[in-house]
Amino acid sequence: MAKKPVKVIIVGGGLAGLMATLKILEDGSSVDLFSYCPVKRSHSLCAQGGINACMDLKGEHDSIYEHFDDTVYGGDFLADQLAVKGMVETAPKIIKMFDRMGVPFTRTPEGTLDMRNFGGQKNKRTCFAGSTTGQQLLYALDEQVRRWEVKGGDKLRKFEYWEFIRIIRNKQGVCRGIVAQNMNSNEIKAFPADVVILATGGPGQVYGRCTASTICNGSAVSSVYQQGAEIGNPEFLQIHPTAIPGSDKNRLMSEACRGEGGRVWVWRKNPETGEKERWYFLEDMYPAYGNLVPRDVASRAIYKVVVHMGLGMQNPNRVYLDLSHIPADYLERKLGGILEMYDDFVGQDPRQVPMEIFPSIHYSMGGIWVDRMHHTNIPGLMAAGECDYQYHGANRLGANSLLSATYSGLVAGPEALRLGRSGELGDALTNDELETAQKECVAEFDKIRAMSGSENAHQLHHELGDIMYKYVSVERDNSGLAECVKELREILKRWDNIGLTDHGTWANQEAMFARQLRNMIIYAQAITEAALERDESRGAHAKIVLENEWKDMDPELKQRILDKVGEPTFDPKTNRAHDSKGDLVFFERDDKRFMRTTVVKYDAEKQAPVVSYREFEHSLIKPRLRNYAVAKKE
């Protein structure tokens, strides 16, 4: 007997969305695929360095277990270990699938796949296509999906240049459809389905300038959060150590630079001889991993050297990322695309002179809470890719994001089909329900279009980014986070006073942006509240101890700090703890209280985030403290 076809709505056409789409089409079921842009322009294409998979092609006896352990250890033991295990076990199969689909992976002279080093991993485990791996993987899936567009008849309907607005739930509370808007005609329509998968990417635009595309605004995630979806670990945002700062965006300079031998340094006076010298501080501070420490560690080290020791280039703050010692033809083959980008945007040739870089918001480990099969807490609503919180814990290893995006699509697609056939979905949406939802969204849009206050939405967005960078960045403390909560409330209030200059209904980007901005502010509140509540340092979340907190600290954690840096002193102005060398003193990781997933729910009445914690699966690898100064011990 033929299987009952399922109708799935997928929002987002990056790697996760396209992978899920392909799986569903191969089953004979149908997909309505929504995207801000032609899916070929999705943000997955910005990933540069590569995709991790244990292929063991370099005679290093690499093992899947080692990939598993590196990922869990790199994530500071906050990732669901069973989920990670599934991902790393599937990784080699994913590479082979992409190889068959024609991804032009970089090859060795023998014609086999080349592998490179990446941060937080000792073995060569990263497959790559020059320095545009994400672009090449995305194109392969885009091509396969286009092939289905031709041969699948009406099984695949692409809605490109459509913006997701909200989900629609049936009487039983199951998500059975969405409302979306055509970005050109501004027509708003409701779409029914059996299952909805969000694959809408990260929320980088909450910080304004970041390495993310302008379409990565987290608006869809915030929208379903306000409709009851739980957010997991939103306080964990990856700050990439090496980006080219810019006023419109911070452009990523791949970790592959360091994987291929790039070194990070600043000028300093040698403490003994007093002579001016290049200080390769990562190699000095972390002898075992050197320039290839994970991103959270590298970003904190750069902050320390630049912001606290004042050793960076000043005005603006920068450190050097140096490739100039590597032969030019080797660089061309391995890193060509991004070196050209540096040249394009900075006007200097990185083959000749060291690049000037600084950390930037890059990736969100957190996102919509999902179980291991990618169901959210709202039945019928699934999430995959960067918009979900799975796989990376408190810090993502480089080259694990293309992997998690693809893998989560591989899981979510077939699971959506199972769910669609399970009989657990309740009633299909009635015409009334569809129409009501559509009308509500039209009314909301009309209201936004008519806004005539004195605030400019783009200016307000800029200020939102400034606030988030100021308080919820590499180094956080509770007084700053509390201040941030206040200032965000103020920003949200000012949103009501936005005035548009475009009140029309044809490609009104300004009105659509205003709607996105409100969602961004509300998501920023979730990030900040979660950061405030988590009184520990773990992965990307590093919290400075304040004077009042030192007194009440758990004795065991206090002892760990005392053993490490001795009795701290406190800055009378900031109340921040410093050690005898003047370095900041951070909270220790607190497994007793915080080896739990942060779960943030939106309280619609109070219009505020509510934080709680949830146990997760971590029984396979026993937690141990992370230390990249020495080789990892099992």
Partner 1 sequence: MAEQKKVRFIIERQDGPNEKPYTQEFDVDYRPGLNVVAALMEIQKNPVTVEGKKVAPVTWECNCLEKVCGACMMVINGRARQACCSLIDKLEQPIRLQPARTFPVIRDLLIDRSVMFESLKRIQGWIDVDGSWEAPDAPRQNPHTAETCYEISHCMTCGCCLEACPNVGPQSDFIGPAPTVQALLFNLNPIGKYNEPNRLNALMEKGGITSCGNSQNCEAVCPKGIKLTQHLAQLNRDVNKQALRNIFNH
Should residue 96 be labelled a site residue for partner 1 when binding is judged by CB under 8 A? yes
Min dist CB 156 to partner 1, Å, is 12
User: For strand 251-252 and strand 237-244, is the pairing parallel, antiparallel, or unpaired?
Assistant: antiparallel
Residue (26 or 435) nearer to partner 1, CB: 26
**In Å, what is the CA distance from 517 to each residue of 15, 367, 520, 523?**
25, 18, 5, 10
Can you tell me which residue has the tokens 């031709």? 150
Residues 416-435 that bind partner 1 (CB under 8 A): none
Should residue 363 be labelled a site residue for partner 1 when binding is judged by CB under 8 A? no
Is 209 marked active-site?
A: no
Give the x-and-dash track for 264-303 against partner 1 (CB under 8 A).
Answer: ----------------------------------------
User: For strand 355-364 and strand 367-368, is the pairing parallel, antiparallel, or unpaired?
Assistant: unpaired
Residues 6+ apart with CB under 8 A from 528: 235, 468, 471, 472, 481, 484, 485, 488
Min dist CB 135 to partner 1, Å, is 6
Should residue 316 be labelled a site residue for partner 1 when binding is judged by CB under 8 A? no
Using alpha carbons only, what angle is made at residue 602 by residues 599 and 608, rounded to the nearest 5 degrees?
110
Q: Which residues pair with 278 in a beta bridge?
A: 267
Q: How many CB atoms lie within 10 A of CB 40?
A: 18
Should residue 22 be labelled a site residue for partner 1 when binding is judged by CB under 8 A? yes
Residue (466 or 591) nearer to partner 1, CB: 466
Exposed e or buried b per residue across 227-266, where buried means at least 16 C-beta atoms within 10 angstroms of its C-beta: bbbbbbbbbbbbbbbbbbbeeebbbbbbbbbbbbebbbbb
Q: Rounded to 5 degrees, what are φ and ψ at 333?
A: -70, -40
d(C-alpha 253, C-alpha 321), whole Å: 9
Residue (425 or 517) nearer to partner 1, CB: 517
Should residue 504 be labelled a site residue for partner 1 when binding is judged by CB under 8 A? yes
Residues 369-398 that bind partner 1 (CB under 8 A): none
Should residue 349 be labelled a site residue for partner 1 when binding is judged by CB under 8 A? no
Among 12, 29, 31, 40, binds partner 1 (CB under 8 A): 40
Min dist CB 21 to partner 1, Å, is 10
Should residue 453 be labelled a site residue for partner 1 when binding is judged by CB under 8 A? no
Residue (56 or 149) nearer to partner 1, CB: 149
Should residue 143 be labelled a site residue for partner 1 when binding is judged by CB under 8 A? yes
Should residue 593 be labelled a site residue for partner 1 when binding is judged by CB under 8 A? no
Which range of residues in 61-69, 106-114, 348-356, 372-380 is near partner 1 by CB under 8 A? 106-114
Residues 217-256 that bind partner 1 (CB under 8 A): 246-249, 251-252
What DSSP designation does 305 have?
I
Which range of residues in 92-100, 234-242, 306-314, 355-363 is near partner 1 by CB under 8 A? 92-100
Residues 6+ apart with CB under 8 A from 338: 48, 131, 132, 252, 253, 254, 256, 257
Should residue 150 be labelled a site residue for partner 1 when binding is judged by CB under 8 A? yes
Closest residue by Cα to residue 198 from 184, 182, 178, 217: 178
Should residue 154 be labelled a site residue for partner 1 when binding is judged by CB under 8 A? no
Which residue in the list 116, 169, 251, 295 is annotated as catalytic?
A: 295
Cite the active site residues: 295
